[in-house]
Amino acid sequence: MSYDYLALYVDGEWRRPGRGTVAAISPADGERNGSTPLASESDVDAAVAAARRAFGTPSWTGLPVEERAELLERFAIQLEKNVPERATATSVQNGTPISIALPSEGGAPIGLLRYHAGLARRTVVEDRRERFDGMGETIVRREPVGVVAVVVPWNFPQPITMFTVAPALAAGCTVVLKPAPETVFGALELAAAADRAGLPPGVLNVVTGGAEIGEHLVSHPGVDRVAFTGSTAAGRKVGEICGRLLRPVTLELGGKSAAIVLDDADLVATTQGLASCALLNSGQACYLSTRILAPRSRYDEVVDAVAGLAKALKIGDPLDRTTQIGPMVSSRHRERVESYVRLGQRSGARLVAGGVPAEQERGWYVRPTVFADVDNSDPIAREEIFGPVLAVIPYRDVDEAVAIANDSEYGLGGTIWTSDVDEGIAVARRVRSGSVGVNYYDLDLGAPFGGVKASGLGRELGPEGFDTFFHYKSIYLHKAT
């Protein structure tokens, strides 16, 4: 089947892309499986201009919150109508196994729109309070920040897009979205659903392209706020641009999180949990616990369990519902992941599962790979690999485990595995990271998500994430004398 997406979505219309179209390549077999449009800088200019025109209008920003929330719910209903098609649209581009794509690409954007419609209804937009000095009153208003540029990566593209598009729209902002060049189909499906739902022209626009188009968008004079998700390297560049322009920005970046396996952990449950907490989406997720910290007292047991997990996972066609590990997103990315496997082999770490096969198979597959006896200073323990490669690192006691977990440039996720949940919570409190799971890990739409250190700036999701799409304004009223 050929997936041919030929147009951008700008100002409520399908627009012919300034730079034509480019072939899409299936990660499962390396063959062409469709086309995607390529935007020019003038397409981006047109999208930003449309978003600017739509911002502040009575038909969007000026709508009573109830009516805007209803439009978001209509958007959700449209998304509900093609869950399998949208999940497939992502899987055929980035190789996410369909069993994962159905709930994440298909289902999650719907929940995100509904959650933010509800949050908008509950949020007080304006309150009137007495002055601190008793000399009058102040009206405190939340005002939407304006035109939001949303730049997202190729892993979990539809939910990640909605992490910021849903709250931005709920707040009354307008959006220009730039998906990663690897996953354009799903973004255009989101635009089509918004169009069918009747969102006014210019409220949501989608332009495509790589880093240059992304930079043109985030530095555009018509943009008021930037929401960037991607690698730490690109995030630093976007952060520099926004710093120079004094433009509010959230940066959701890379990670190298730790799973701390405590000495009382049930290893069967831990291994089952690590299948998703360490290897979800073939290791291509930002918050994964890819450093497995194992107590010396049970080190061999943990190594065997993790190696056994890696060997048991079913590798195959992403569209096969029984596949657990799909291909990497691109041949370039597979080469990058494999270069880390070779680096691990040279570092003196012990390869206990996986490795680079002598002959490459069709498609961009990497076998789940586990290294034991890894030192936390080794590059495979320090750098984000973004593939199915795990490092098992021994520790002496809990203090050392926490020290190793925190000895990282990153601080995004992490997990604690234990039979004693209270002890798990106590250890979780000591991990320097934006989120930690005890005996599991799953994002909560109602709670803030984001990173510390090189994992990013700011938070998405929950009321805290929603708040970042508003400016506060205070109107002072002096007491009549």
Where in 420-449 is the site for ligand NAD (CB under 6 A)?
none
Binding region for ligand NAD (CB under 6 A) out of 36-44, 56-64, 229-237, 465-473: 229-237
d(CA 331, CA 319): 19
CB contact set of 347 (below 8 Å; sequence gap of 6+): 374, 375, 378, 379, 380
Put residue 205 in one of left, alpha, beta given phi > 0 → left and psi -120 to 50 → alpha: beta
Among 260, 384, 390, 445, binds ligand NAD (CB under 6 A): 384
- 3-state DSSP call for residue 38? coil
Active-site annotation holds for 143: no
- How many residues does the structure list for the chain? 481
Binders of ligand NAD in range 167-226 (CB under 6 A): 178, 180-181, 210-211, 214-215, 218
User: Minimum Å distance from CB 292 to ligand NAD?
Assistant: 18
Cα–Cα distance measured from residue 347 to residue 367, given in angstroms and rounded to the nearest whole number: 19
Q: How far apart are CA 9 and CA 14, in angstroms?
A: 5
C-alpha 458/C-alpha 465 separation (Å) is 8
| Of the candidates 425, 413, 416, the residue with the CA atom closest to the CA atom of residue 452 | 413
- Cα–Cα separations (whole angstroms), residue 121 to 140, 170, 173, 199, 388: 18, 9, 15, 18, 41
d(CA 14, CA 80): 22
- The nearer residue to ligand NAD, 97 or 295, going by C-beta atoms, is 97
Output the residue with the shortest Cβ distance to ligand NAD. Answer: 214
Binding of residue 475 to ligand NAD (CB under 6 A): no
Catalytic pick from 105, 182, 189, 252?
252
Q: Is 470 in the site for ligand NAD (CB under 6 A)?
A: no
Smallest separation, CB 124 to ligand NAD (Å)? 28
- Nearer residue to ligand NAD within complex by CB, 302 or 431: 431
User: How far is 49 from 57, CA to CA, in rounded Å?
Assistant: 14
Give 150's strand partners: 177, 227
Selected binder of ligand NAD within 145, 203, 206, 253 (CB under 6 A):
253
Choose between 223 and 427: whose C-beta lies nearer to ligand NAD: 223
Does the protein bind ligand NAD through residue 415 (CB under 6 A)?
no
- Letters for 98-137 (x = contact with ligand NAD by CB under 6 A, - = none) are ----------------------------------------
**Spatial separation of the C-alpha atoms in residues 192 and 190, rounded to whole Å:** 5
Backbone angles phi, psi at 108, to 5 degrees: -60, -40
Cα–Cα distance measured from residue 253 to residue 236, given in angstroms and rounded to the nearest whole number: 9
Segments of 412-451 assigned E as strands: 415-417, 437-438
Out of 12, 186, 255, 273, which residue is the one contacting ligand NAD (CB under 6 A)?
A: 255
User: Least Å distance between CB 207 and ligand NAD?
Assistant: 11
Work out how close the CB of 397 gets to ligand NAD at its nearest, in angstroms, rounded to a whole number. 30
User: Is 18 near ligand NAD (CB under 6 A)?
Assistant: no
Least Å distance, CB 227 to ligand NAD, is 10
Question: What SS3 class is residue 269?
Answer: helix
Measured from the CB atom, the residue of 280 and 307 that comes closer to ligand NAD is 280
Task: Examine residue 166 and tell whether it contacts ligand NAD (CB under 6 A).
Answer: no
Nearer Cβ to ligand NAD (50/152): 152
Of 86-94, 135-143, 148-156, 311-319: span binding ligand NAD (CB under 6 A): 148-156
User: Minimum Å distance from CB 125 to ligand NAD?
Assistant: 28
Residues that bind ligand NAD (CB under 6 A): 151-155, 160, 178, 180-181, 210-211, 214-215, 218, 229-231, 234, 237-238, 252-255, 286, 384, 386, 412, 451, 456
Residues recognised as catalytic: 252
